[in-house]
Amino acid sequence: DKIKEIGGENPADIMADIKVADETVYHRHTVKSGETLGKIAKHYYKDAMKYKEIFEANSDILKNPDVIHPDQELIIPNL
């Protein structure tokens, strides 16, 4: 009955308000074996010290900038 109250006869009538992040402001990078945030930063920014920006952009999945794993997908912000 809640579905009818919200405005539809069946669940397909309800539309989700989902916003997709603007991918023009970042890249996605899949970590390869042996990579570090510093190496990834050097590749994208030509400056290994910018690893901090990558770490901050991925703070939801990374707790330590020295610990990343192969096949993790990281967000690389455009600077």
Residues of the chain with pLDDT under 70: 1-25
| Number of neighbouring beta carbons within 10 Å of residue 60 | 7
- C-alpha to C-alpha distances, 63 to 18, 28, 36, nearest whole angstrom: 27, 18, 14
The pLDDT assigned to 15 comes to 57
The pLDDT assigned to 26 comes to 85
Domains of the chain, with CATH numbers?
20-77 (3.10.350.10)
The closest alpha carbon to 30, from 50, 56, 58, belongs to 58
pTM score? 0.69
